[in-house]
Structure 1
Amino acid sequence: MSVTGNGLDLSYGSILRVRRIDEEAGRVWFDRRDGASGWLGGPLVDTVEAGQILYIPDQVNDDDPVRVLSEEDWLIRGGDVATVSLISEDGSTAVLELNGRHQTFAQREPEPFVKGQTIAVDSDGRPGLVLSSKPIDRFGRAEDDLDPASFIHTPGDVTLDDFGGSSVLVERALELARVALDPGQRLREIGVNPVKGILFSGPSGTGKTHLARVLSKELGTRFYLIDGPEIVNKWVGESEQRLRALFQHAEEHAPAIIFFDEIDSIVTSRGDDASEHSGRLVGQFLTALDGFKASQGVLVIASTNLPGALDTALLRPGRLTFKLEFDGSPSPEDRLKILRASARKVRGSEHADWDVLVKATEGWSAAELAMIWTEAGILAVVDKRDELCTEDITAGLVRAARNRDVSRRQERQA
């Protein structure tokens, strides 16, 4: 199929919006994203409609025809990470590509674009900081010895009964996870945006990792546990390929939950003080998150106790859209639930005075509450018994309180 035009340069993956169709003249009038307008002729007059977004390749043929895109493809948005895919022959323009979307920009001076660079997109939709001299590979596997399966963990013998926190929080998390991993992807059928990611935020010890494990066990998924500091220390250089290999492995072994613990160590906010390495880590993570489809049966959950340190691009719609906050100071009702849940398998816990425990633990986190049973158990073992007594639980409370005070004092001094 041949396409004629009015002389505007339409090579290298031009994207156009159809403004109107003049059937009598045989022309399709269009607008480009750079503000230019023009017309195209030929068979397009009979095949397109006003308002459609079209991708016009540099060579229109059966292998690479004119394609109709979605409204989302009209703009590459701020916070995205794009790759320089082409430079025009005269060097005046560059084409940036993001997940199959293309946009043409004028070549900049100084520091002109180079094919293959990975570029951060500024809030105004214009290309900004160069994150890497190499493209982020969304499709190839890592050519090294990293086995993504090494991050698969067994959730363990956990159930919803083991998580004693807020019932509202649990119900919301379970609702989102079930919808995200729905085999029928009914959200897509309805026509609304899918659930791809959830952010768990709250102080340490509030049960964020525990709930992620519970969700995986409850829904029967594979559970990938990614420790943030481990990635930062280990994934250097070609780390974008390794991260993509992780997402691809999860897609191939769906349904799966990928849980990033301490996500703030990977995607801290980019700014003037951020290092190039930090910028690359942010870029590679955002690209991997954008590159997978919700229909693949993968849900990303990330946790942080420093939500203010996260790059804002991570939190925009389509990424970690849904935020669940874990309370560092559970209510008396929630403390009772946590104490009972953490003692569910503890022999002798029926000797506990629940009212006393609840009143004595105001402001305690879930992890701190669970330490009561550990300390009580230590006393029972030292006394060569295989279940707790009332004295063990009372002393366990005292010891756990002492440990908590020491920990809080060290935190203040740090």
Structure 2
Amino acid sequence: MEPSSRAYCRGVTPSTLPSVTADDVRAAATLLDGVITRTPVVESRALSQLAGAEVVLKCENLQRAGSFKVRGAYTRLSRLTPRERARGVVAASAGNHAQGVALAASMLGIDALVFMPVDAPLPKLSATRGYGAEVRQVGTSVDEALAAARVEAARSGRILIHPFDHADIVAGQGTIGLEILEQVPDVATVLVPLGGGGLVAGIAAVLADVAPHVRVIGVQAAQAAAYPGSLQTGRPTAVTPGPTMADGIAVGTPGQVPFGLVAGHGVEVRTVSEELLSRGLLMVLERSKLMVEPAGAAAVAALLAAAPGEFRGPVVPVLSGGNIDPLVLLRVVRHGLVAAGRYLQLRIRVADRPGALARLVDAVAAAGANIVQVEHSRTDVELSVSEVRVDMQVETKSAEHRTAVVERLRAEGFDVAV
């Protein structure tokens, strides 16, 4: 299993926690009744076998607007005063909070303006506009879009709807925790994708009060992990997110409200690699027939990284969202196939004589691999005049099969580079 890193905090005590309790979450649940979808839970036999414990997926990817974000957005917007509603709202998001705010604003008759990064996925842009919000693209990250939203709020008087750093947002997201307790009463471990922290903070707040025996673990993309360093220093500390497929959790600075709850409730934080994210997405898509975005697969990625039996079951990974650009999906699935040993790219030198390529193709077929693409080159300067280079993409059945294919080709005398 690929390891994941872990972080804890001992510098924040419960006395310093923001005021978000189980009662706040229950009040939000009442407010959201009939507004949001009570998303299903789905048992995964494949993940249960890997984890050595029962695994039940909480499918927020099937939520209205495609993610959990509408829970917090509607809770926050519905509590604005009539005067605040008249001023309109402004938000910033990589896409899911944008859609949640746009949908909630349309239901409540509030004018919404949303700032999104310039490279935000097209489906998220289109959906946000489709719900009636005005969209402006600025910067290359959620943090830059949020800075622009703050400027606009100060200039226009619009109410800033922060994606995670507000008690109402946290309480709304925490309603997922109540549903998990009702749907999986004996739940022992909850794995939660973690960006700014609103989702895991809300779930931790309600479980700490109602079911303190339940272990809550936040999962960040290693390329955009602000919480580990923040938990070590005892305060929100900014990082510069690197490139990650998990744009939905690529947040550079934890929010004050969620950080206090995450630290005070002793939530463990783990990080997962891009390979684990792609493998997690592929696993959910292939075995559970559920579409998730990379950020939405973070909890499953942590499960894949863990040793069998490491998490006490039932384990509930939260699939936080399913809004993924089809073009991104193609790349991520390919990445996941490679990471899982299901896809192999070979560079092979063969003699430049009739029948050499046919012998190579026969050897690949005999090894049980399926050739997807072949490119044949004689012009590489590293080749001798009597050689050609063959770049070959093949499908394999597993990591073990991938290794066996390479070993067989080398045993038959081919010069193979992977």
| TM value normalised by structure 2 | 0.25
Query: Which one has more relative contact order, counting CA pairs under 8 Å at least 6 apart?
Result: 2
- Between Structure 1 and Structure 2, which shows a larger proportion of helix residues? 2
| TM value normalised by structure 1 | 0.25
Question: Highest CA radius of gyration, 1 or 2?
Answer: 1
